[in-house]
Structure 1
Amino acid sequence: MTTRKTATVTRLHSNRSPESSVIREALSKSVKRIAPLWSLEHFVAVNPFLGFTDEPFDRAARRVSLACDAQLLMPRAFYREALRSGRMLTSDIESTLQQSSHAAETGLKTVMDALQKERDLDSRKALISCADVAQQISGHDWPATIVERVSHWASGYFDAGQASWPSPFRDLRPYEAWRREVAIDCSDTVMGLAEAQAIFAELPDTPEDVCEHVLQKLGVPEELLDLYLHRLLSSIGGWVAYARYQSWGQELAGESPKWVVDLLAIRLCWELVLLKELSTDGSEMAWRRALQLQRANADLMRSLSVDEAVDQVLQEAFEYAWQRQAIGALANSQAQETTDGASARPSAQAVFCIDVRSEVLRRAIEAAGEDVETLGFAGFFGLPIEYQPLAGEGGEAHCPVLLSPAIAVQESLRGQSLEMTNRLSRRIRLRRHLSNGWRAFKNSAVSCFVFVESYGLAYAFKLAAHTLGISRPEPHPAHRGLPPNLARELGPQLTPVDGIGGGIGIESQIDFAQSMLKGMSLTEGFARVVMLAGHGSCTTNNAHATGLDCGACGGQTGEASARLAAMILNNPPVRKGLKERDIDVPEDTVFVAALHNTTTDVVELFDLDAVPVSHAKDISELQSQLLEAGEQAREERSKLLAFAPGTDLLKAVNAKSRDWSEVRPEWGLAGCAGFIAAPRSITRSIDLQGQAFLHSYDYRQDPDFSILELIMTAPMVVASWISLQYYGSTVDNKVFGSGNKTLHNVVGGSLGVLEGNGGDLRVGLPMQSVHNGEKFIHEPRRLSVFLAAPISAINRILEKHPQLRQLADNGWLHLFAVYDEGKVVARYTGELQWASAKLDDASMVAAES
């Protein structure tokens, strides 16, 4: 017996550790596995699968299972219900099998038989870490303990002003700061890890060296290295995501996300501690055996079982069902378009963000005024600005997170002197300091318990008033406590005023104006009034409030961008410069900025005092149409908001936006499924039910297809991020979402939320953002993209941008080509190949020369 055991130990220890170069390469790849998580002040949609879009979607499902202990597909009961309700048809499964790469492993009978049973989850067990092995041996939940220890340290290190005693080592890199703290922390000894201090003291100085040192000590074989590192990162995925966000600017500049490797090093250190501390209990032997047994997991990454292939077919069929209906609607849209005569000149044009919530309001506006034309464009209007609010302590990026701000714009009080502006600035700053001081008093260790006794009765009426809905309306957060009429006078300045702001030079203004107008395919046929509408949300007591604002504006409202865009386009020297560049904007065309409140569907116009008197009637008519459109949009959205029949909807949605206890003030982008870049004439007669991003695009005005390239590499990618964030938060909210909103606690001031009083930092959307308590309001579908452009142009852009091509080739989104009359003629099948638009026809379409 003794001899056999010794031989086993020798054999298990004989595994060669990976070479240093292999480990370094694996580290370089692994630090990008976890997607970044923006802070609550700038919470924007992020593709949670950003780190493995270089893998096909079906293989990623296996990776998610092994590395994240999560699911990438819905339970089969979901697909059974979709089939029963008619949201998916048996013919959809049949058609999917004709084009699916999994047709060889499955057939209709196999799929239908498997659909009646739940999938076998035993084959999808996650990769085991050393902490998991220690738990099996000791009975103590070491994985949870490690998460708590890392989370406790990280919340102090990354704190943004909430902690009374923040980490004294925040000026150091995360790994070095952690080493300093654990050197004086006795918690490990209390937990029974007597040797932890000695182990930590002997660690190398840099996180990269630590990772290499620990991996060699653990003996992780090369074939498991990628999965193992991903498994450790996902175990503290929320804090890793926040660390990656902190270095996102470095990534945009081409550097590696350094802080992520720091957290990976910290997590690896805990693996080493547990291996050594519990070696007398047999954990080291169990760990070596686990490594041997899990080598099979590396093989599982290379092939899918029949059971997994069935699940992929069901998801593809569910998405096919939506595509079938969308393609049919697009094909039928031309019938109405040919019978409707268009006026020579629209009475007004309204440019909205491509956000899916705009689709509902655009239809309503067009119904309210048949000669009103609507367009779709990214909500930052092509202006990558850093906006400096009055009395602000720093600039805010008002542009997509894929971009870096190119210009700085400062807010000021319009039409007022420098003295008045400075006085208002001091007023705002004083209110902020008083508010911060009051909040600090309430939260301090000395007063938090006596606060209720001292002020409870004074707050009783306020609490009851909020609960019963009889309180005064809360001011919009953007007003910063100022009276609304004064707050409206705050705005961006196009040129320096009394030394305030740097301004934007005329040539730059002309460049931006040309780019804007070409980007929205609006270079001729201008109306007398062109409304540029940004959007924002107004909610109360909502940690993820900025996630309901404009993602194109970096989680801010689109007000500043819209107002600045209107100023530029109304500037006479800019109009002259545009004319010299063959864009002739009529002298009687006026651009007006607006903000669409997506919670209430109220549209507010700005800077009307700058509109000529000659356009007063045009503005009045537009405002009447916006009021009527708002009523219609609220009526449509009320179907999902569970209002009683006969409810005053405007009053109800206003109350909903002010209700501090409301967990679903609006549904945001729930339901998003498609992206259409085409002239509005193709989609104007279609009810897309608020499920499609609509970007105006006319390839005939884009001879070099530079606008198409911009659309595909920016708005289309951002829409895909949004789609996949909702997808992940739906299929596995525990891992890719943020759980129950009512249990959230904001940590670090604005870093993010914990669910309850501990655990990892949560990512993604709350369950209440995708589920109404009875059913999913958002149903997971990968984005279906319809481009009204030549296939040859689309292919050239895909070939030019490898990361974009990965999304399409690996099935993270679906691509379709549309002809002028709205007919979808081809679908992308990968490797720059296209098939017939008839989704049940596998015949290939010849690429255009």
Structure 2
Amino acid sequence: MSGTSLLTKEKAIEEDANIDLNERDIDVLVESASRVIAPLWPISSFAARNPWMGLENQSFEQVAGWLKNTYDIDIYPSVSMILAAKRKGEIEETYVKKGLQRWLDSYSFDIPRDRAERFCLAALKLDSLPSNLLSSNKLEKLVEEFSGLNTNSIEVTSTEPISSHIENQDGERLVHILDYHVIKWCKLYLDDYQAGWSMPNREEGFYRAWRCLIQYDPALSKKERKSLKNWPQEAHMALKEALSLLEIPKSEIQSYLESHLLSLPGWAGIILWRTQQSSNEHALLTEYLAVRISMEWALVKPYLPLTNQQSKKKVSITPLLASWLHWGDLTVEEWSQMSVAEQNEYLSFAYSFDEKLRRKLWLEAWEQTYTDRLSQKIVSNKRETNNKESPLAQLAFCIDVRSEPFRRHLEKEGPFETIGVAGFFSLPIATTKLGSKQSHSSLPVMLKPKHKINESASESKLKSYQQRKQAVNSLSYTFKMMKQNVLASLLLPELSGPWLTLQMIARSFVPSRTDSSIRKLRESWVRKPDTKLSLHHVQKKEEELSIGFSKEEKVNYARQAIKMMGITERFAPLVVICGHGSQSINNPYSSSLDCGACGGASSEFNARVLATLCNLPEVREGLSSEGIEVPEETVFVAAEHNTTVDELHWLYVPELSEAAQEAFDRIESIMPKVSQNANKERLTHLPNFKLKLKNPKAEAHRFAEDWSEVRPEWGLARNVAFIIGQRELTQDCDLEGRVFLHNYDWKQDESGDLLADIISGPGTVTQWINLQYYASTVAPHYYGSGNKATQTVTSGLGVMQGNASDLLAGLPWQSVMKSDYEAYHSPLRLLIVIQAPKEYVERLINNDYSFREKVQNGWVRLARVDSDGLWENW
């Protein structure tokens, strides 16, 4: 695979000796290059992101090879992770051997098959070549005598930034100096609220603001500032000028831009996200590249011209020959007696069967082992639907893997039916909480809201509430303003020291009591009044989104949610719509523990909206006219599942019917036991949990309320599968909190539209979550965000390590690692299991090109199970 560019340009631009690009050409190149990075959302609404979302038209194996060969980024699990999984019995070696046989069958070679197999099986033990062999005189002599290998086919050419090939007089690479400058300018321009003084001319855009200030930057030398003094006024002209002066050939411009984007994928990612949010900043990524490559030109100008700007990495013969001597039992005499053609064949074979391929075979065996064990659980699960007891209550939970243990323990306590559905409950809404001026898009980040729902109260209650809330927040606001003000910050330590010292001591030694007391004091003082939701349609001219829903929209959204839950023909007296959120202190990543389907926020608002809609007489009447009869005794209520302490909190409970009240009381009575059992199961997986502790509930609250706790809960770590089917399929299975569960009944989906919606919405969210955890585990130095304890929140946007790193895009070390040496998350690609006839899955694959591409290229795995228990891997 070529290393010069992973992607084919959508619109080829003819090569020419001189760069002659117009603004449109620049836009096309920047857009094509941007596929190597992914949008990065601000950490306040942390949403899982698939770092390779723009590369899915290539196979996972191709992308892995390209990243390794070009940028030395390894996205296969490490040897230590694989061996640890093998020791724990998570990988059956039979599948490794089967994978090897398939590879040997597909590879053409002129080596005796039995000898090739022995070599591969020995290499698959994943031990390192002995250092004494690699440094031996015998091997060195053999390598010196050999000159026959044609390495042209295995050279890797990459267009790296020119600055990466140059070192200054202190031995520091210029690309690192360039990164330092670019980070500084990104922080200044993108700052959300932290800076006391905002960047001058910011309203004119990134490039123009930078151009006005760069000539006064004391961090640059006089010559460097002078070279940028008369730089072009427009970003695309500046980018064109810099590329021309750096003599980047037209055929390599895209890959050159890709390399610069991958140098700081976090900052580039949040800029890409900004370009998608506002038409005013649609060219922001072009401006970023103009700033970066213009500064590169200024830094490398004194060192030009350079020769051999492209780096060609030739393969070393030494480890290839050593591998045959060590794993292939090849003797020096046998090697010496071979012809040059035979020697070439052996070395080429060893090169092809490299460590990356060996780890690929182990990963596939790991995935297949899990797939087979899951299929055995499901197929052997007894499903008796005919004699099923009528449920006392139905509880709809988010598909989140953390819901699975809680649902399982709840179902054991009585005739309760639990349902899995995406946590935004099919409501395309932006939400505004009482007293807030900011709205939040409470739906998957790949979708756009169509309605705004406001929380409101009477004018007198709202005024009183805002006054109390302002009084509570004023001290915090004043503190923050003083901290950011240059002069006031000098007095701040003396003024705040005594109070903060007491607070620190209390939070450190009695964290649970302190946080509980502070929270209760705040809640009792603020006293949020009872509120209403703006569900009825109101169109305001100044608003982009209409407030509330029309009558038709209310019925449509209620019907869509009920169909997704699969309860169109039978309703329990009580239907509980359960959103979910988390609880933690001093945690920049708190939103990553909330609902991914609600854009990194609690799904409590959506739960309340849906429950309220489903109780409206006009909605019941509309559903009835469409054949969905909701019994008069059925009442919808809303609750929130707190995933950190495994408790259910009621959000909206209207007047209940007699049957619904009975169900409600029953849930209340069993909930302490459900929470206790769920906490006990979940907490035992945390590395510092005390096994002999008698009160799991108290320990769960300690994790949630201790400000020094870097791991309040595991979140979605170890997620591995997404099952789309009826609850009876998995109801008696212990899925270990590793599986997303979405209800689906193919018999009620004759057209296949429902399955298509599940795959395009929740299916995409689960895949992004899975690959976020995968990437943060296998390549934490590049796709993760390092140690939580040493992070710095910057510009109100995200976190950095120190004050001059990339904006860290992935999950912290503590979210995926059990210790410094042991991974907790199993880096396996998502397995999607669909309960439906074969023709349903075939139709889905044929109609959904994007999903077909993901399956064929190895970004997700697919299996099918039918009502008779037949399991089929796709």
Cα separation, 1, equivalents of 2:774 and 2:529: 37
Aligned to 1:278: 303
Work out whether residues 174 and 300 of structure 2, in 8 Å CA contact, stay in contact via their aligned partners in 1: no
Aligned to 1:64: 67
3-state SS of paired residue (2:202): coil
Aligned to 2:361: 313
Q: Which amino acid aligns with 2:580?
A: H
Work out whether residues 40 and 544 of structure 1, in 8 Å CA contact, stay in contact via their aligned partners in 2: yes
3-state SS of paired residue (2:444): coil
3-state SS of paired residue (1:754): strand
Aligned to 2:342: none
Work out whether residues 376 and 696 of structure 1, in 8 Å CA contact, stay in contact via their aligned partners in 2: yes
Q: Which of 483, 494, 497 is the aligned partner of 1:456?
A: 497
Cα separation, 2, equivalents of 1:240 and 1:631: 45
Aligned to 1:730: 777
Aligned to 2:284: 259
Cα separation, 1, equivalents of 2:374 and 2:170: 56
Over residues 171-204 of structure 1, what are the superposed CA-to-partner deviations in whole Å (9 max), with x where a residue is unaligned? 1222222212213323211xxxx43223323433
Work out whether residues 64 and 71 of structure 1, in 8 Å CA contact, stay in contact via their aligned partners in 2: yes
3-state SS of paired residue (1:168): coil
Aligned to 1:385: 429
Work out whether residues 720 and 813 of structure 1, in 8 Å CA contact, stay in contact via their aligned partners in 2: yes
Counterpart check, 1:777 vs 2:824: yes
Cα separation, 1, equivalents of 2:386 and 2:498: 64
Counterpart check, 1:592 vs 2:637: yes
- CA 614–693 in structure 1, closer or farther in 2 if over 3 Å, else same: closer
Instruction: State the shift of 1:95 in Å.
Output: 3.2
Aligned to 1:346: 391
Counterpart check, 1:26 vs 2:29: yes
Instruction: State the shift of 1:154 in Å.
Output: 1.1
- CA 16–822 in structure 1, closer or farther in 2 if over 3 Å, else same: farther
Work out whether residues 15 and 219 of structure 1, in 8 Å CA contact, stay in contact via their aligned partners in 2: no
Instruction: State the shift of 1:470 in Å.
Output: 5.0
Cα separation, 1, equivalents of 2:522 and 2:262: 41
Paired residues for 1:310-459 under 5 Å? 310-333=358-381, 336-338=382-384, 341-343=387-389, 345-369=390-414, 371-413=415-457, 417-459=458-500
Cα separation, 1, equivalents of 2:284 and 2:518: 32
Counterpart check, 1:547 vs 2:592: yes
Instruction: State the shift of 1:717 in Å.
Output: 0.8
Q: Which of 193, 202, 226 is the aligned partner of 1:161?
A: 193
Aligned to 1:760: 806
Aligned to 1:78: 81
Instruction: State the shift of 1:317 in Å.
Output: 1.5
Aligned to 1:131: 163
- CA 204–239 in structure 1, closer or farther in 2 if over 3 Å, else same: same
Aligned to 1:474: 515
- CA 216–683 in structure 1, closer or farther in 2 if over 3 Å, else same: same
Instruction: State the shift of 1:28 in Å.
Output: 2.3
Q: Which amino acid aligns with 1:270?
A: M
Q: Which of 238, 242, 251 is the aligned partner of 1:214?
A: 242
Cα separation, 2, equivalents of 1:227 and 1:476: 56
Over residues 412-455 of structure 1, what are the superposed CA-to-partner deviations in whole Å (9 max), with x where a residue is unaligned? 23xxx332223323433454344212222244333445433443
3-state SS of paired residue (2:308): helix
Aligned to 2:321: none
Aligned to 1:620: 665
Instruction: State the shift of 1:99 in Å.
Output: 5.5
Counterpart check, 1:40 vs 2:46: no
Q: Which amino acid aligns with 2:628?
A: I
Cα separation, 2, equivalents of 1:496 and 1:709: 29
Cα separation, 1, equivalents of 2:298 and 2:105: 44
3-state SS of paired residue (2:83): helix
The runs of 5 or more residues in structure 2 that have no matched partner are 1-14, 109-115, 132-153, 316-349
Instruction: State the shift of 1:496 in Å.
Output: 7.8
- CA 566–128 in structure 1, closer or farther in 2 if over 3 Å, else same: same
Work out whether residues 65 and 124 of structure 1, in 8 Å CA contact, stay in contact via their aligned partners in 2: no
Counterpart check, 1:235 vs 2:263: yes
Instruction: State the shift of 1:457 in Å.
Output: 2.9
Q: Which amino acid aligns with 2:478?
A: G
The runs of 5 or more residues in structure 1 that have no matched partner are 1-13, 297-302, 829-849
Instruction: State the shift of 1:477 in Å.
Output: 11
Cα separation, 2, equivalents of 1:398 and 1:475: 28
Work out whether residues 468 and 526 of structure 2, in 8 Å CA contact, stay in contact via their aligned partners in 1: no
Work out whether residues 430 and 453 of structure 2, in 8 Å CA contact, stay in contact via their aligned partners in 1: yes
Over residues 125-147 of structure 1, what are the superposed CA-to-partner deviations in whole Å (9 max), with x where a residue is unaligned? 98642122112776123222222
Work out whether residues 386 and 397 of structure 1, in 8 Å CA contact, stay in contact via their aligned partners in 2: yes
- What is the root-mean-square deviation in Å for CA atoms of aligned residues? 3.2
Q: Which amino acid aligns with 2:189?
A: Y
Cα separation, 2, equivalents of 1:51 and 1:458: 50
124-133 vs 752-761, greater mean Cα deviation: 124-133
Q: TM-score, normalised by structure 1?
A: 0.87
- CA 598–123 in structure 1, closer or farther in 2 if over 3 Å, else same: farther
Work out whether residues 158 and 310 of structure 2, in 8 Å CA contact, stay in contact via their aligned partners in 1: no
Aligned to 2:113: none
- CA 86–484 in structure 1, closer or farther in 2 if over 3 Å, else same: farther
Cα separation, 2, equivalents of 1:379 and 1:78: 32
Aligned to 1:834: none
Q: Which has the larger radius of gyration?
A: 2
Cα separation, 1, equivalents of 2:782 and 2:790: 16
Aligned to 2:689: 643
Cα separation, 1, equivalents of 2:793 and 2:46: 13
Identity of aligned residues (%): 29
Counterpart check, 1:704 vs 2:751: yes
Counterpart check, 1:791 vs 2:819: no
- CA 484–451 in structure 1, closer or farther in 2 if over 3 Å, else same: closer
Counterpart check, 1:248 vs 2:276: yes
3-state SS of paired residue (1:198): helix
- CA 124–744 in structure 1, closer or farther in 2 if over 3 Å, else same: farther
Cα separation, 2, equivalents of 1:647 and 1:396: 40
Over residues 623-653 of structure 1, what are the superposed CA-to-partner deviations in whole Å (9 max), with x where a residue is unaligned? 2233222111111111112322134111111
Aligned to 1:833: none
Cα separation, 1, equivalents of 2:18 and 2:240: 10
Work out whether residues 468 and 525 of structure 2, in 8 Å CA contact, stay in contact via their aligned partners in 1: no
Q: How many residues align?
A: 787
- CA 305–261 in structure 1, closer or farther in 2 if over 3 Å, else same: farther
Aligned to 1:5: none
